[in-house]
Structure 1
Amino acid sequence: MAQTLEILSRRTTSMQGIRSVVHTMKTLSVINSAPYEQAAKAIETYHDTVLEGLHAFVTHFGPIKTPASDHPVQVLIVFGSDHGLCGNYNEALADHVAGFLPQREDGPPTVLCVGAQMADALTDQHIAIEETFFPAASVDGVGRLANLLTQRLETIRTRAEPQDIAVSLAYVARDGAAGQRALIVPLLPLDQAVLDDLAAKPWTSRSRPYFSMPANDLFRTLVRNHLFATLFRAIAEALMTENAARLALMQQAERSVDEKLEELASETRTVRQDQITTELLDVIIGFEALKKDKGDPPEE
């Protein structure tokens, strides 16, 4: 259906407004990703310090064997988004979690969810959620959320006694050239391979490590800091990949909007040219009619 210049002008203005919003969202995604990436690098250094503390602990007290529990209380923390405009980010992770749960022989775990959009995606997969947390809105909020989750795990552990708890983390992580992929990684109990590697690692200092704290209190403090650092890293990684997914979607939307603007510009030029041609034809026809009227002989 032919459209007037006025309609095309309104559509072009609306599309330019949409492009402005898309460009703003794309810019915000780039800006938001950088602080989370820096926070992830910083917490890796902190985590290395915690692991060095564990190394000193096992050097002083000897190898540690994590107790094996037949039926630990299973806990799964799923890190998702609280906002949209990031494609199927939450749905893909929820689908991965849904495929992971039936493989467990010890029944469904206690699920803690981060992000309202993630909670909706898990509910669509018929996964029961015990509690939903607000995701971090800034880098400062990453530490707050990591502390909150650490405290929540401590509450679950106290409630589960004398049973142990086994905690896993589900989040979307970067995967080099592949972009992103959903991961489910164990958090508790501590990986025995990591403890064995620390015990086998030589102590390079001239003096042996010495501690003034009681051994049990020191070990609990080190484990708590290990949990905090790992949760902090998972939160930062999830926020980075969320913004990366939003950036990719906004880039695709920006290309689509630019193509539509080009179509509207081409259609506007065509309609304007048709109008100019019609007006020129009207002038020519009028001029020819006037010439013809002037050339007729006068009536007597």
Structure 2
Amino acid sequence: MTQSLERLTRRTESMNSIRGIVHTMKTLSVINAAPYDHAARAIEAYHDTVLTGFQAFLHHYPLDARDTPVVRRVLIVFGSDHGLCGNYNEALAAHVAQAVQDWPEGPLTLLCVGAQMEDALTDQGMTPKETLFPPASVDGIGRLSNLLTQRLDDIRHAAHPGDISVSLAYFTRDGGAGQVPDIKSLLPLDSELLRVLSATPWVSRTLPSFTMAAEDMLMALIREHLFASMFRAAAEALVTENAARMSLMQQAEQSIDDRLEGLTGQMRAVRQDDITTELLDVIVGFEALKKGKRRKKTKAD
């Protein structure tokens, strides 16, 4: 159905307005991701300091991975509540549901970050014990990580005298391929990590000492290890969320550009048809005038 030039003009103006909004959202995604990326890199430096503390501790007290039975497994899933990032939550929830099927049987405590992630997990038949709000700024990452650390302390105390395992599920960057879902195990401590730290020579002549009880020092190091890891996961989740949103906005922008190109072509065709029609009207009118003059001249003769 041929559309009028006026209607095509209105549609083109609307498309241009939508494109401006999409472009703004794409730009905001890039801007918002930058501080979270900086926070992720900053916490990595802090985590290296914590691991250095582990190294010093292990030189005083060699430690193997504990054989304490795990009485409860804890899984923390980092999702998004901001929307416009496609199937971000659904894809991670499906990955978590698939991975949990291969875990040993036993009680599982599921902690969730984001109400939309809670819905996605529920659709997969998994009910979180508690749902926390995702951070709205870089400052919120630290508050969320502290809150999660406190929750883990409460769960660990409730599991006494057994032990707990802790895993994190979140989207992580995958180079130029975008982002991929990942599940990272934090507790029990990785035996390979302990072996490497124990075997690595100390960088100076003097080995650091400490006055705290060995058990208290170990628990403090583990707590900081958990905090840094959860901080890193929360920051990485926010970076990948904005990356997913930016990718969708790029696709939407390209789709709008294709649509605008089509509308522009239609407008040119309609304008050409209007010009052709007007020219034909002029020619027909001119021919009619010529015929009228000829008739008058014939009658006069």
State TM-score, norm by structure 1.
0.94
- Other-structure match for 1:109: 108
Matched residues in 1 for 2:254 and 2:3: separation? 24
Contact 1:59/1:209 (8 A) holds in 2: no
Contact 2:71/2:106 (8 A) holds in 1: no
Matched residues in 2 for 1:14 and 1:116: separation? 33
Distance 1:111 1:53, change over 3 A: same
- Other-structure match for 1:14: 14
Query: C-alpha displacement at 1:213, in angstroms?
Result: 2.5
- Other-structure match for 2:283: 284
Query: C-alpha displacement at 1:192, in angstroms?
Result: 2.1
Query: C-alpha displacement at 1:108, in angstroms?
Result: 5.5
Contact 1:172/1:237 (8 A) holds in 2: yes
- Other-structure match for 1:219: 218
- Other-structure match for 2:93: 94
Secondary structure in 1 matching 2:161: coil
Secondary structure in 1 matching 2:296: coil
Contact 2:72/2:106 (8 A) holds in 1: no
Moved more, 105-114 or 185-194: 105-114
Query: C-alpha displacement at 1:34, in angstroms?
Result: 1.4
Query: C-alpha displacement at 1:149, in angstroms?
Result: 0.9
- Is residue 172 from structure 1 mapped to residue 171 from structure 2 by the alignment? yes
- Other-structure match for 2:73: 74
Matched residues in 1 for 2:70 and 2:226: separation? 21
Matched residues in 2 for 1:188 and 1:22: separation? 42
Contact 2:70/2:165 (8 A) holds in 1: no
Matches within 5 A, 1:184-263: 184-263=183-262
Matched residues in 1 for 2:85 and 2:195: separation? 41
- Other-structure match for 1:141: 140
- Is residue 125 from structure 1 mapped to residue 133 from structure 2 by the alignment? no
Matched residues in 1 for 2:271 and 2:277: separation? 10
Q: Which amino acid aligns with 1:291?
A: K
Distance 1:108 1:175, change over 3 A: farther
- Other-structure match for 2:26: 26
Matched residues in 2 for 1:160 and 1:21: separation? 51
Secondary structure in 2 matching 1:168: strand
Q: Which amino acid aligns with 2:26?
A: K
Q: Which amino acid aligns with 2:184?
A: V
Runs of 4+ in 1 over 6 A off after TM superposition: none
For structure 2, the 5+ residue unaligned runs are none
Query: C-alpha displacement at 1:104, in angstroms?
Result: 2.1
Contact 1:71/1:106 (8 A) holds in 2: no
For structure 1, the 5+ residue unaligned runs are none
Matched residues in 1 for 2:120 and 2:13: separation? 35
Moved more, 131-140 or 261-270: 131-140
Matches within 5 A, 1:152-171: 152-171=151-170
Secondary structure in 2 matching 1:212: coil
Secondary structure in 2 matching 1:202: coil
Contact 1:101/1:108 (8 A) holds in 2: no
Matched residues in 2 for 1:107 and 1:264: separation? 60
Contact 2:71/2:107 (8 A) holds in 1: no
Secondary structure in 2 matching 1:103: coil
- Other-structure match for 2:50: 50
Matched residues in 2 for 1:32 and 1:223: separation? 31
Matched residues in 1 for 2:69 and 2:51: separation? 27
Q: Which amino acid aligns with 2:202?
A: W
State TM-score, norm by structure 2.
0.94
Matched residues in 2 for 1:50 and 1:63: separation? 17
Matched residues in 1 for 2:107 and 2:99: separation? 10
Q: Which amino acid aligns with 2:11?
A: R
Query: C-alpha displacement at 1:157, in angstroms?
Result: 1.3
Contact 1:63/1:196 (8 A) holds in 2: no
